[in-house]
Amino acid sequence: MQLTGGAVSRYNCRFSLNTPATMPSAISIQAVSKRFGQLQALDAISFNVEQGEFFALLGPNGAGKTTLITTMAGLTRADSGSVRIMGNDVVTQFREARRSLGVVPQELVFDPFLTVRETLRFQSGYFGLPRNDVWIDELLHKLGLADKADANMRALSGGMKRRVMVAQALVHRPPVIVLDEPTAGVDVELRQSLWEFVRELNAAGHTIILTTHYLEEAETLCSRIAMLKNGRLIALDNMDKLLAHSARREVALKLSAALPAELEALRLRQEEGRHILQLQDLGQLENVLSILRHRNITVRELNVIETDLESVFVKMMNGVTV
């Protein structure tokens, strides 16, 4: 395990150095379903997140991400199924489960009459940690809030409030940290410093679960992802596997003549005079080129279209298997 200096290493020691021989999953979700009236918000969701993972939970608006997260935090009660945080059931072992988890909520929730420091002290008190000022100061410093410690919450900008939400989630030093769209509406500087901090926490052994609509964030940060759609789990894989699976299978060709009839079946679309072909694998390209040679058609331009998470995501959301 890598221990970084300063706040994070101390932060981590309490939890990770005495890991038992059989480590429970950081999060274990078993057949979780939840309805709101007629709406099936979660439909038999099952997956585990192992300790130390940096995991992305993705899906379009209304997919069920926040519902799943509030279920993890014990704020929403699943109709059926179970959720365990570090081995503790969120219903029958609520206190232990809740202590292991820090959630940065999607919605900004705060008391406008408290200062930033009071907000964090209250949260500490909630977890039975009355003398936590050293750690609170470190968090304020790490999140660029030191000069706002005595400002009232209502006087903070939206981005600053979000920083306080992050500090609040970390105040009891949870081993598992869930961030529900933490970068929505925050400036580039905070996004970068937030990710740097979260990466440090992850490097020090903390499990991170992230939801975001900025797919490039998920692609750079996370090693495994789950995709939800209409309350269903539609993909669960390692990031590189998911990308490799659908990677480099599209090529754009600009030709000296029309596309031969035998290649029509491969054509996905035409864009600005280029034929976009879908191949089974790159090896198939040889076959395509030999057909073109045979017909005396010159290839004026050939580009392999790189797959990124966004294109995989869009395909999956449109029901295309990648």
Min dist. Cβ of residue 223 to Mg ion (A): 22
Which residues ranging from 54 to 93 are in contact with Mg ion (CB under 5 A)? 65-66
Min dist. Cβ of residue 313 to ligand ATP (A): 13
Nearer to ligand ATP, 64 or 205 (CB): 64
Min dist. Cβ of residue 44 to Mg ion (A): 20
| Residue 59 interacts with which of Mg ion, ligand ATP, none, CB < 5 to 8 Å by class | ligand ATP
* Residues 198, 7, 122, 92, CA torsion sign: positive
Locate all alpha helices (DSSP H) within the chain, ordered by sequence. 6-16, 65-72, 94-99, 116-126, 133-142, 158-170, 188-203, 215-221, 239-246, 284-294, 309-317
Nearer to Mg ion, 178 or 239 (CB): 178
Q: What is the C-alpha separation between 181 and 15, in angstroms, rounded?
A: 26
* Residues 120, 125, 129, 130, CA torsion sign: positive
Dihedral angle computed from the Cα positions of residues 62, 65, 68 and 73, in that order, rounded to the nearest 10 degrees? -120
Nearer to ligand ATP, 36 or 122 (CB): 36
**Residues of the shown chain interacting with ligand ATP in the complex, contacts defined by CB under 6 A:** 36, 39, 41, 59, 61-67, 106
Judge whether 127 and 99 are in contact, CB under 8 Å.
yes
Nearer to ligand ATP, 63 or 209 (CB): 63
| Nearby residues of 114 by Cβ (< 8 Å), 6 or more positions away | 122, 152, 153
Min dist. Cβ of residue 67 to ligand ATP (A): 3
Nearer to ligand ATP, 9 or 230 (CB): 230
Q: Which stretch binds Mg ion (CB under 5 A): 81-89, 106-114, 121-129, 188-196?
A: 106-114
293 backbone dihedrals φ, ψ, rounded to 5°:
-60, -45
Q: 133-142 vs 6-16: helix axis angle to the nearest 10?
A: 130
| Residue 36 interacts with which of Mg ion, ligand ATP, none, CB < 5 to 8 Å by class | ligand ATP
- For residue 212, state whether it binds Mg ion (rule: CB under 5 A): no
Min dist. Cβ of residue 29 to Mg ion (A): 16
Min dist. Cβ of residue 107 to Mg ion (A): 9
64 backbone dihedrals φ, ψ, rounded to 5°:
120, 5
Which of 48, 106, 152, 193: binder of Mg ion (CB under 5 A)?
A: 106
With vertex at residue 225, the alpha carbon angle to CA 222 and CA 230, rounded to the nearest 5 degrees, is 140
User: Residue holding tokens 């705060």?
Assistant: 110
Nearer to ligand ATP, 3 or 91 (CB): 91
- Which residues in this chain contact Mg ion in the complex, by CB under 5 A? 65-66, 106
